[in-house]
Structure 1
């Protein structure tokens, strides 16, 4: 056997595989190549995808469907720089498509892009990485991801990139980010304002406009605005405004200027650097209406504080604004009116505008077809005429009040509110007030009183109060049907609306007929509820209630049970008995129409001479049926009361004061059944007597003169009526259980004698048991008379 010989191992072939040129004829093939381990293939595949995607959105969507997105997102972190660059190019181009962008939102690619922007110095990667983020940053969730992944620092750094595309993309991303307040603050703290301001010098308008838009957002932050000012940003903006070659940037620049003028401290600093002067010059030299309008809006922004208004006044801003009224453009006139309205809070400016003829120009704006101009003009006039009689007269002389009355019927609530405010201001001048009323103002105010807009209601109710200061104006409001909606406003839970409505009711209630109508609409009951509320009651509501009751003594007596000596009973007064809180007190007309019932009668006072009326009645057709109103009037006729008044005047005229009261008391007692002893009071047939009168009249309402058997409440009412008619003074007080009495003030003895009291004393007049007896108030006898 021979020995085994060990086989020598075969050495591997040292020949390399000959390079195979790869040709991808379809997108699907190229997408497959994105998974290749070969760097050269990856480079060419990414390059091919970039070229294919750059041809249009259809190609981008096709690549998305073939699954190109995820491998590309992985390749942007490849070790090979060329692979990374080409992958960024392909990804950046594809991300500009909406469908691709939505798909990218689901892939956590943002941290990878931000990381490469921070580390790479390749301009191409910067360009396409920022292009990708620019597309994604429109979405809120992506903006949050960019911010949370510390994306602002590299983006701020890239603002200084030598490549304009990188600058454009970076500022676009920053613009999207700073729409959120957190990013605005962070951008300023990271020192982003200086490199951003440098972009204003760019040769590319798109970069300049994006920069101005970004500055507009950033300068809404107070601290950022201060940093912007410290970097002389305002001066750079004014330089742009004064450069006619940059007219396409003026609109955006003015929006940033407006933010810079947000507080008086900033305005003061800008003023010291002649910034306001340069702004005024720009307003006058610009010949583009939309730019002029924007510039005037900046002035309006400045005029929001008293200090700034003074600075503008010192710069003769009134003259600038008045000159702008000659511009035909509606937008410029609208902005000018808004600026006039703002400056009119400065008292010297009000007079300056009048002297420069601005009021006539603003009045002309009232007739414009533009709602915006009409609204601005009415606001300007409202502010100009506030506490300024001369301006009110200037508006009147320009015929503005007539147009303002017409504008109370506008559909735009702001115009109506401003018109009502202006008319209210002007109504403080008597001659103007009369002219306003002559143009149908009360009728025009009817619809605004029904408005649901709070400011319209505030201004309208105030206007009503200022116009309704004479009887004719109140009668016109009553005829127009304005009382019902006015009373309804007393239900408002808005403090200022309620107070103004109460003020208007207070003014209108000085007229008796108006007060009665408002009571019919429930004003008293509503005000009772208001005055019981801790949160709603006020001095206005108390005054309104007092005014209503003082002009409607019947309601006052029913509610309060007391008439003062200054409350003079007149025709139409009626006693319907004590009313409960919240209970609506029916009018005399309503009570007269009720069918006969078992309740206590309503006692009415009517001193009117009916002779003429009777003659007129004879001339009527006797066959004509009697209307309810005629029946009610017939019941109200009270010849007996007229005779008593005449007798009272004749019998007490020459007597001394004390004797007058005694004689009047005896006259009342005789007219109502004579003296009745206390112990015989229960035998006095007053109830049966009143029932007989009610049955005879077929009415629950009884004229007081027909009562021949009356007790305390009837006699006290008659005494008050006769006293008021003869010039004597006394109160009327309701007690419990049909008790009522009169209280008078008399000197206890002869005040001319030494030792007699010079202070009058209060007495209760006995009309029931010892007629004419004067019972000192609070004595046992007086208390016995007042109570059971």
Structure 2
């Protein structure tokens, strides 16, 4: 800004002695003279200190060590105007040193400076150096608070209209530093800072114009300030700067102000009507000015937030320019271009236009950049382009973008990871692409992001996993990579979207029995039960996950719900551990078999497969040779195997109704025959089961070994044999060891039981009159399902 010419000194009084010249060879002497009672000496000393300090930072630090600050701070409040003025000059110059600035923070000088600004209305020198001192201090947060608390803003804002350019510049710097904080931004707006700032745009000094624009850029982030800015024709004045190529050095800052203003639809209409969009297009063609291009691109990004405004850009053929800018050398311009593409690609017409112009390969190329900012912006653009757009997803696939996106999941930038996962999730909706994504290790790459604490990463990663895990091989990979534990842990998230997506992923993973069993080990069932009991956390996603989870494991389903539908087919490994209590942890069959024999009812297991003895012998020999521990396996159930063969041979040839009756008799004979209701309490099933447990030294009993079974055992055996031979029935658990099977029959011959020729449900009697079919809800059926008063079992 240039140094000020020294102001004339006041004319001394005739009665005063002639001034003694101050001649000092050392700064220490000057500092000592600051304590002089003589005003003339103080005037000359402060002037000399100012001159000495102007020569460099070393001199300023020297004065600091000699403890010149305190006396100078006292002298700025001196009654003599010349003493005060010269003290301000010395203090202002010294404050530009970092060391001096740090020392000044410990001296409560800010209130003194602000008071002097309020007292002195017409001294440009005091204004200049007082504001210079405050400008240096206002960089520090504590000093900002002090300036604001001591009501320093009003006089400083008034000084923006001072004719002295140095005062304007210093005052602008103070305001610029203060408005970095939200409270000060609101305050300067209320104090009417907009008009003087706009007036400073006409300054002859570029540094003042630039500072004014930077300050406007900061305060126009506030909506109320933007309204005032628009009412004061601020938008038009900034556009005038953009239209004037003589102000090209100000265009970058001006574009930042325009970007803020474009948050408001009114400003967008103003820029459109005034030909501003066309002007923005011109900035894209400006050679060798990347900062200007980036500023214009930010404006485009803001305009594109609204679908109606995006149509205006589409009409200007902005997509073509953006695709061209993706190929420029400057990384910053590329990143800004990607951000603009991301904003515009949310609108279908622009999305398709980018793809047709070949913009997607250029975005994929950006994924290889060393710039974190560019990679983040490129992944965001690809995420938006592939969202609900099959053709764009295949364009990324054809450009082999999915390979690079998988690698981005191993990065350190949270936004890039989230965007990459979102893009892969969008693409994985298409089978061909999903298979290719999986072949490049996507599942393994997702495991670490599943452990993140970043919400956006978790939202994208869980959804991506849900899209990928519909493949059986993917679920196997997830188990092997250790991804199930962190996935199950996310069910405890309090973030609604993370929880929903985690439930969706669990639901998909539960389609696989091995995966479901692994999740059971991590407590997935207990967590989902808790979620579904909560009014706030329960959702259709959690309910669906629970249904699919228990459908994948019929043992768990029967234990929890007490009901297996006709479509639930019992397979080897099914076990009945009794009715589960609320919150009870599910224990696997292997874990149950390892428990010591107890007094509880046995666990009944179904195992129809009989391994060949020679194969078992060969396996045992191999294991013995390798000195490895023999793996646990279920006990062979020869009796059940015989029953299955008998059922297939004797029952399948019969008609439908006869099949159920014959199968009921076969089950009854296998488990002790018919038992009259009156003699039910004498049936020795309890002692029989205890003997089996003692004999096997296990709580787990194969169902074929049970020769004296009651309702619950017979109903399970009936369901097992029916499923083996392909006839339909349900399995329902009642109270007190009751269980029964329901079958659906179309038979006119059964109309005497209370049903017409329409399909009716019947309960199969396996205990008292084996083979008898009892119409549901009849007295006989209810008696079979419930315990009788005098016949407690």
Aligning the two structures, in what range does the TM-score lie when normalised by the shorter sequence? 0.7 to 0.9
Is 2:711 the counterpart of 1:712? yes
Q: Which residue of 2 aligns with 1:617?
A: 616
Asked if 1 retains the 8 angstrom alpha-carbon contact of 2:110 and 2:134, the reply is no
Asked if 1 retains the 8 angstrom alpha-carbon contact of 2:77 and 2:84, the reply is no
Q: Secondary structure at the match of 2:774?
A: strand
CA–CA distance in 1 between the matches of 2:586 and 2:370? 50
CA–CA distance in 2 between the matches of 1:433 and 1:466? 8
CA–CA distance in 2 between the matches of 1:354 and 1:671? 70
CA–CA distance in 1 between the matches of 2:724 and 2:163? 102
Is 2:113 the counterpart of 1:110? yes
- Give how far 1:781 is off: 3.1
Asked if 2 retains the 8 angstrom alpha-carbon contact of 1:110 and 1:146, the reply is no
Residue deviations 1:676-735, cap 9 Å, x none?
Answer: 222322332323333343344443322222222211111111111122223332221222
Change beyond 3 A, Cα 1:751–1:212: same
Matches within 5 A, 1:446-465: 446-465=447-466
CA–CA distance in 2 between the matches of 1:735 and 1:93? 93
Q: Which residue of 1 aligns with 2:172?
A: 171
CA–CA distance in 1 between the matches of 2:576 and 2:768? 23
Is 2:270 the counterpart of 1:269? yes
Matches within 5 A, 1:663-702: 663-702=662-701
1:22 aligned to which of 20, 27, 52: 20
CA–CA distance in 2 between the matches of 1:67 and 1:712? 99
Asked if 1 retains the 8 angstrom alpha-carbon contact of 2:322 and 2:337, the reply is yes
Change beyond 3 A, Cα 1:325–1:785: same
- Give how far 1:487 is off: 2.4
Residue deviations 1:589-640, cap 9 Å, x none?
Answer: 2223334444322222123353xx33423545659659999685461x2333
Asked if 2 retains the 8 angstrom alpha-carbon contact of 1:28 and 1:66, the reply is no
Q: Secondary structure at the match of 2:701?
A: strand
- Give how far 1:188 is off: 4.0
CA–CA distance in 2 between the matches of 1:440 and 1:556? 34
- Give how far 1:219 is off: 1.7
CA–CA distance in 2 between the matches of 1:246 and 1:566? 78
Q: Secondary structure at the match of 2:600?
A: coil
Q: Secondary structure at the match of 1:211?
A: helix
CA–CA distance in 2 between the matches of 1:188 and 1:621? 86
CA–CA distance in 2 between the matches of 1:155 and 1:218? 16
TM-score (norm 2): 0.87
Q: Secondary structure at the match of 2:201?
A: helix
TM-score (norm 1): 0.88
- Give how far 1:180 is off: 4.5
Is 2:283 the counterpart of 1:282? yes
Residue deviations 1:311-362, cap 9 Å, x none?
Answer: 3333322222111111112222222222211222222111111011111001
Q: Secondary structure at the match of 1:584?
A: coil
CA–CA distance in 2 between the matches of 1:478 and 1:17? 101
CA–CA distance in 1 between the matches of 2:296 and 2:757? 76
Change beyond 3 A, Cα 1:143–1:457: closer
Q: Secondary structure at the match of 2:77?
A: helix
Change beyond 3 A, Cα 1:271–1:509: same
Q: Secondary structure at the match of 1:676?
A: coil
Deviates more, 1:200-209 or 1:324-333: 200-209
CA–CA distance in 2 between the matches of 1:444 and 1:99? 49
Is 2:764 the counterpart of 1:765? yes
Q: Which runs of 5+ in 2 are unaligned?
A: 1-13, 24-28
Residue deviations 1:137-158, cap 9 Å, x none?
Answer: 4456665665567655554454
Deviates more, 1:246-255 or 1:495-504: 246-255
Residue deviations 1:255-309, cap 9 Å, x none?
Answer: 3232222233322222221222212211221422344334323332333333433
Q: Which residue of 1 aligns with 2:660?
A: 661
Q: Secondary structure at the match of 2:409?
A: helix
CA–CA distance in 2 between the matches of 1:353 and 1:735? 63
Residue deviations 1:716-767, cap 9 Å, x none?
Answer: 11111122223332221222332211122345744899x9724433332221
Residue deviations 1:553-603, cap 9 Å, x none?
Answer: 111111111112222212221112222122222222222333444432222
CA–CA distance in 1 between the matches of 2:336 and 2:496? 32
2:64 aligned to which of 61, 64, 71: 61
Change beyond 3 A, Cα 1:127–1:374: closer
Q: Which residue of 2 aligns with 1:306?
A: 307
Asked if 1 retains the 8 angstrom alpha-carbon contact of 2:72 and 2:87, the reply is no
Asked if 2 retains the 8 angstrom alpha-carbon contact of 1:593 and 1:628, the reply is no
Matches within 5 A, 1:129-208: 129-138=130-139, 152=153, 154-181=155-182, 183-208=184-209
CA–CA distance in 2 between the matches of 1:632 and 1:170? 82
CA–CA distance in 2 between the matches of 1:154 and 1:623? 94
Q: Which runs of 5+ in 1 are unaligned?
A: 1-15
Q: Which residue of 2 aligns with 1:354?
A: 355
- Give how far 1:372 is off: 2.2
Deviates more, 1:709-718 or 1:774-783: 774-783
- Give how far 1:520 is off: 3.3
Is 2:363 the counterpart of 1:365? no
Change beyond 3 A, Cα 1:485–1:709: same
Q: Which residue of 1 aligns with 2:380?
A: 379
Q: Which residue of 2 aligns with 1:428?
A: 429
CA–CA distance in 1 between the matches of 2:315 and 2:738? 74
CA–CA distance in 2 between the matches of 1:513 and 1:283? 57
Q: Secondary structure at the match of 2:744?
A: strand
Q: Secondary structure at the match of 1:729?
A: coil
Q: Which residue of 1 aligns with 2:441?
A: 440
Asked if 1 retains the 8 angstrom alpha-carbon contact of 2:386 and 2:393, the reply is yes
Residue deviations 1:139-192, cap 9 Å, x none?
Answer: 566656655676555544543444322322232233234344455445445544
Change beyond 3 A, Cα 1:580–1:58: closer
Q: How many residues align?
A: 761
Q: Which residue of 2 aligns with 1:536?
A: 537
Q: Secondary structure at the match of 1:105?
A: coil
Q: Secondary structure at the match of 1:109?
A: helix
Deviates more, 1:698-707 or 1:743-752: 743-752
Q: Which residue of 2 aligns with 1:778?
A: 777
Q: Which residue of 2 aligns with 1:492?
A: 493
Q: Which residue of 2 aligns with 1:6?
A: none
Q: Which residue of 2 aligns with 1:555?
A: 556
Q: Secondary structure at the match of 2:76?
A: helix
Q: Which residue of 1 aligns with 2:743?
A: 744
Change beyond 3 A, Cα 1:664–1:24: same
- Give how far 1:651 is off: 2.9
Q: Which residue of 2 aligns with 1:3?
A: none
Asked if 2 retains the 8 angstrom alpha-carbon contact of 1:33 and 1:45, the reply is no
Asked if 1 retains the 8 angstrom alpha-carbon contact of 2:507 and 2:548, the reply is yes
- Give how far 1:425 is off: 0.6
Task: Compute the RMSD of aligned alpha carbons.
Answer: 3.3
CA–CA distance in 2 between the matches of 1:629 and 1:694? 25
